[in-house]
Amino acid sequence: MKTCLVVDDSKVIRKVARHILETLDFEVREAGDGREALDSCLAEAPDVILLDWNMPVMSGMDFLRALKDSGIARRPKVVFCTTENGMAYIRAAIEAGADEYVMKPFDRETLESKLQIVGVA
Amino acid sequence: MHFPGTTLAASSSAMTIISALLEQRTGQQIAANRAWRIETALKPLLREKGLASLDQLVAQLVVTRTGELGDQVVDALLNQETSFFRDSAVLDMIADATKMIQAEAAGRKVRIWSSGCSTGQEPLSLAMLFDERGMGEGASAPEIVATDVSPAALARARAGHFSQFEIQRGLPVRRMMTWFDGNGGDWAAKPELLRRIQFRQHNLTADAPPPGKFDVVLCRNVMLYFSPDVRRDVFAILAAAIRPNGLLVLGAGETVIGLTDRFRPCDQYRGAYRAVEAAPAKRAAFG
Ligand SMILES: C[S@@+](CC[C@H](N)C(=O)[O-])C[C@H]1O[C@@H](n2cnc3c(N)ncnc32)[C@H](O)[C@@H]1O
């Protein structure tokens, strides 16, 4: 079973994502901000991370940079998952090392499609 | 025809007339167990026209002479589901095959026909793959002809605009960044991509194929609801439109086997079919 770490400060979004991911046969872990997510990754790297942009403590972009600098052995795939839907944001996220990008609101098909594209579904 | 289990006040004769209209215009049959779709699919049109029931719609269909209402009914009933890079391994195979054919076809343009192209995701995906293999523009670029029976789907395909939902289905974000402009809910294919495709209205069950022969013909997820007879006829038409040694590609789970002797599975490109010469008419036996 593949593991997915859902990083979002909204409990509701985490719950929705968890529900969809579980129907896609993922084992789901959650983190409420980038800092928690980093700790979770260093403890045990998931296969893929769904990453929100704006979060307290540590944003998605800061998390991406920190993940890069952490020297983690097996780097998880990162799917940005955010309400930011302008090309400038998308470009910035991809340049910072994200593998895919999901614009919220998303549904099961969108998420499944993007997870397939990064090769984990 | 009899439609069990219909819910609203639609009479079964209204259902029969509507499904006959669809079949007559497009070859698409509606199985009795999918008849519920008629009401669901036509509800928005009924509302738009201020009609209370399918019976009223049928009454209108009978009196209007322009045929425009008929077009709208047919459009609403067609299954136009599609996505970018649908069955992406198959599209990669097509792009590889096209590259090979082009290498052998010195001096002439390789021609691709995406039939039943719906809102354009299929030919656009091909155009992106061709570009990535160095066949984007210029002499080496294949000609892509994309057709559909539905004027509404074609209008959308020609415009090349996609919703946030559509643009995220199957399309890797890097390709989106390269080939689309947009923001939020509206994403537009760049003109330099869109202009590589010629869109035309074409009915597989009624019209002569687009002129000239094709090297690769896609007819994916179109024939599912054709009757066996209609399929046989369409396979014969497609066979005639394909060059010797050209390829036909169907949707995942679709096959020619048992339906036509005009195509056989291709050994070189798995999942594709090669056209076979029409069997000569049986010779009379003179002892
Ligand atoms: C389910 S979509 C498939 C689109 C695309 N080929 C794909 O596989 O994603 C089927 C399309 O076939 C079109 N279609 C149905 N009957 C047709 C006919 N008789 N001639 C041409 N197109 C037809 C429909 O309008 C619809 O856009």
Tell me, yes or no, whether B35 and B61 share the same domain: yes
pLDDT beyond 70 at B274 = yes
pLDDT at B96: 96
pLDDT computed for residue B18 by the predictor: 92
Q: How far is the CA of B19 from the centre of ligand 1 (A)?
A: 17
- Would residue B271 count as lying in a domain? yes
Single pTM value for the model: 0.92
pLDDT at position B8, please? 47
CB B164 within 8 A of CB B187: yes
pLDDT in tens, B55-114: 999 999 888 766 789 989 999 999 999 999 999 999 999 999 999 999 998 789 999 999
Q: Are residues B71 and B94 in the same domain?
A: no
Write the ipTM: 0.93
Mark which of B54, B77, B100 sits at the end of a domain. Answer: B77
Residue B183 has pLDDT above 90, yes or no: no
Residues B177 and B244 in one domain: yes
How many other C-beta atoms are found inside a 10 Å radius of the C-beta of residue A100? 23
Q: What is residue B154's predicted lDDT score, i.e. its pLDDT?
A: 97
Q: Is the pLDDT of residue A11 over 50?
A: yes
Q: Determine contact, residues B42/B51, Cβ cutoff 8 Å.
A: no
- Residues of A in Cβ contact (< 8 Å) with B173: 90, 94, 100-101
pLDDT at A45: 95
> In this structure, are B155 and B27 located in the same domain?
no
Give the pLDDT mean for B13-20: 89
Q: State whether B67 and B103 are in the same domain.
A: no
CATH number at residue B16: 1.10.155
The CA A76 to ligand 1 mean position distance, Å, reads 39
**Percentage of chain A with pLDDT > 70?**
100
Q: Are residues B216 and B122 in the same domain?
A: yes
DSSP tag of B52 = -
- Number of compact structural domains in chain B: 2
Query: Can you tell me the mean pLDDT for B114-142?
Result: 96
Taking all residues of chain B, what is their mean pLDDT, rounded to a whole number?
90
Bridge partners (DSSP) listed for residue B249? B218, B272
Helix (H) or strand (E) holding B68: helix B68-77
The reply to whether B104 and B63 lie within a common domain is no
Check pocket membership of B222 for ligand 1, CB cut-off 6 A: yes
* Partners of residue A91 in chain B, C-beta under 8 Å: 177
Which member of A86, A100, A114 has the closest CB to residue B183?
A: A86
Q: Which CATH superfamily is domain A2-117 in?
A: Response regulator (3.40.50.2300)
pLDDT at residue B11 above 80?
no
pLDDT (tens digit, 9 = 90+) per residue, B256-273?
Answer: 988 888 899 999 998 899
CA B232 remoteness from chain centre: 17
The ligand 1 atom at the shortest distance from the C-alpha of residue B202 is 21
CA distances for B265 relative to B116, B248, B260, angstroms: 21, 9, 12
Domain with B167 in it: 88-275
CA B162, B165, B168: angle at the middle one, nearest 5?
85
If asked whether residues B186 and B268 sit together in one domain, one would say: yes
Q: Is the pLDDT of residue B182 over 70?
A: yes
| Ligand 1 lined by B149 (C-beta under 6 Å) | yes
Cβ contact B198:B146 at 8 Å? yes
Do B207 and B267 share a domain, yes or no? Answer: yes
**Number of Cβ within a 10 Å radius of residue A95:** 9
CB-nearest partner of B184 from A85, A102, A117: A85
CB of A108 within 8 Å of a chain B CB? The answer is: no
Burial class (CB in 10 A: 0-12, 13-18, 19+), A117: buried
Shared-domain flag, residues B18 and B57: yes
- Touching check for A107 and chain B: CB below 8 Å? yes
Do B149 and B96 belong together in one domain?
A: yes
**How many C-beta neighbours within 10 Å does residue B20 have?**
13
Can you tell me the mean pLDDT for A9-18?
A: 95
Residue B3 has pLDDT above 80, yes or no: no
* Residue ranges per structural domain of chain A: 2-117
Predicted confidence (pLDDT) at residue B1 exceeds the cutoff of 70: no
Q: What is the pLDDT of residue B7?
A: 47
The reply to whether residue B165 touches residue A87, judged by beta carbons under 8 angstroms, is no
Considering the domain architecture, whether residues B136 and B49 belong to the same structural domain is answered as no
Cα B209 to averaged position of ligand 1 atoms, centre (Å): 15
**pLDDT value, residue B244:** 87
Q: Which of A91, A110, A117 sits opposite B165 (nearest CB)?
A: A110
Q: Give me the mean pLDDT over the B30-49 stretch.
A: 89
Distance CA A61, CA A54 (A): 9
For range A6-19, the mean pLDDT? 96
CB-CB under 8 Å, A117 with B184 = no
Please indicate, yes or no, if residue B236 is contained in any of the structural domains. Answer: yes
B-chain residues within 8 Å CB-CB of A109? 169
- Count the Cβ atoms, other than its own, within 10 Å of residue B62: 8
Average pLDDT over residues B37-55: 92
Q: Stretch A67-80: mean pLDDT, rounded?
A: 92
Q: What is the pLDDT of residue B130?
A: 98
Question: What confidence tier does B10 reach under pLDDT thresholds 50, 70, 90?
Answer: low
pLDDT, average across residues B153-173: 96
Residue B130 belongs to a domain: yes
Task: Give the tens place of pLDDT for each residue, B201-222.
Answer: 999 999 999 999 999 999 999 9
- Residue-wise pLDDT for B81-97, tens only, equals 999 999 999 999 999 99
B244 touches chain A (CB under 8 A): no
* B82 CB near ligand 1 (under 6 Å): yes
**Domain of residue B131, CATH code:** 3.40.50.150
Top-confidence residue, B268 or B7: B268
